[in-house]
Amino acid sequence: MPVTLQTVDQARWDACEQERVDLLRIYADAPEERMRVDSPEAFILQHLEARHFFACARFNDRLLGAVAIEVAADGAWWLSQLCVHKSTRRRGVGSRLIALMGELASEQGRVLRIATAVLPLPDRILLSKLGYRPVSLPPPGDATAARHGEFVELNPQGKGE
């Protein structure tokens, strides 16, 4: 399945109705343990209004999966709320999306971080296989890291730190 990366920011959300529908559908049918929100639309809008964005897995002009991206003060990208559309789960879409984000981060010299305090064990195992490694101390002055607590990181060269 040739999955490509599509970012969705506020401008793209406003401009593309099909991407709005797809993104809402991805988060609306997410397992409760993965998305603990009452309204997927409110979650998406709040994230976009905070000037963050979503990285999405695209296949045949449809979004199949998404991960919320928060940009930290140090430029690192914090990934959260990874969800894949119910009909395409267990087919590697989430893994491919995380790998594509790793490639984009490497191109832009950014670090990817994922808070792990609330992740289930299978997600932690997957992150380890993808090269993410636990980080014991947050970067000095990084309020985002302090807020998230325990996390894993992938550096711009694609190797866990």
The yes-or-no verdict on residue 64 having pLDDT over 50 is yes
At 158 the pLDDT is: 45
Residue listed under structure tokens 């209004």: 49
The CATH number of residue 137's host domain is: 3.40.630.30
Q: How many domains does the chain divide into?
A: 1
Range of the domain at 119: 4-154
In a domain, 56, yes or no: yes
At 17 the pLDDT is: 93
How confident is the model over 92-103, as pLDDT tens digits? 777 788 888 888
pLDDT band at 160 (very low <50, low <70, confident <90, very high): very low
The yes-or-no verdict on residue 132 having pLDDT over 90 is no
In a domain, 159, yes or no: no
Task: Quote the mean pLDDT of the chain.
Answer: 78
Q: Give SS3 for 97.
A: helix
Indicate whether this model's pTM tops 0.85: no
- Cβ contacts of 74 within 8 Å, gap of 6 or more: 111, 139, 141, 142
Instruction: Give me the amino acid identity at 112.
Output: L
